[in-house]
Amino acid sequence: MDFKRISETILFAALYFAITFILAPISFLPFQVRVSDALIMLSAALGTSVVYGVFLGCLLANLFPVGYPPNPLDVVFGSLANLAASYLVYLICYGRLSLRRAVISAACSSLIITLVVGSYLPFLILPRVELLDVLWIGYLGVLPGELVAQLVIGVPLLLALEKAVRR
């Protein structure tokens, strides 16, 4: 990695952490909208610097959650979910971006994060967990926020960035 890519990675890690920290009341807990996940979509245009940056930013955000002690499950698996989701967006869109690819990759990325985070989140917040808890609190608590972050915010952000770069 050259200096430029390392700098970009650090920049995206810092952006991810800062957005998550500033919006902490909605970035954590069972029904969350982690707005910083909108940055995942930028890996479609900017490449692996964003992939590694959102991974590191998520790792830091989960290591230092506001008002809660860090949970090892969230630190490890939440961060790995972001890494996988961002890398998938990169694979689907990088070098061949279109609205269709952006929407498909945002939906797939949202599903990855929902399945990973939603599978362990109920175990972090409930004393006893049943299958319906994982469905209602885990998956249905995380998916809407991910779709807002990635489809509603991330895709337009990506398309605006791509348009600005073309000029």
Is there a domain that residue 65 lies in?
Answer: yes
Per-residue pLDDT of the chain in tens (167 residues, 90 and over written 9): 699 999 999 999 999 999 999 999 999 877 889 999 999 999 999 999 999 999 999 999 999 998 889 999 999 999 999 999 999 999 999 999 999 999 999 999 999 999 999 999 888 888 888 888 888 888 999 999 999 999 999 999 999 999 998 87
Quick: pLDDT tens for 105-118.
Answer: 999 999 999 999 99
Q: Give me the domain span that covers residue 56.
A: 3-24+35-162
Is there a domain that residue 29 lies in?
Answer: no
At 119, list the tokens. Answer: 């599978």
Is there a domain that residue 167 lies in?
Answer: no
What share of residues in the chain are helix, strand, coil (percent, to 5)? 80, 0, 20
DSSP for 78-96 reads: IHHHHHHHHHHHHHHHTTS
Is there a domain that residue 119 lies in?
Answer: yes
Number of domains forming the structure of the chain = 1
Residue 28 to residues 20, 91, 102, 135, 150, Cα–Cα distance (Å): 9, 28, 25, 18, 16
Burial class (CB in 10 A: 0-12, 13-18, 19+), 97: middle
- Strand segments (E) across the chain: none
Is there a domain that residue 155 lies in?
Answer: yes
Q: How far apart are the first and last CA of the chain?
A: 27
Q: Distance between CA atoms of 95 and 45, rounded to whole angstroms?
A: 7
**Is the pTM for the entire model greater than 0.85?**
yes
Is there a domain that residue 147 lies in?
Answer: yes
Q: Distance between CA atoms of 12 and 113, rounded to whole angstroms?
A: 18
CB atoms inside a 10 Å sphere around CB 70 = 12
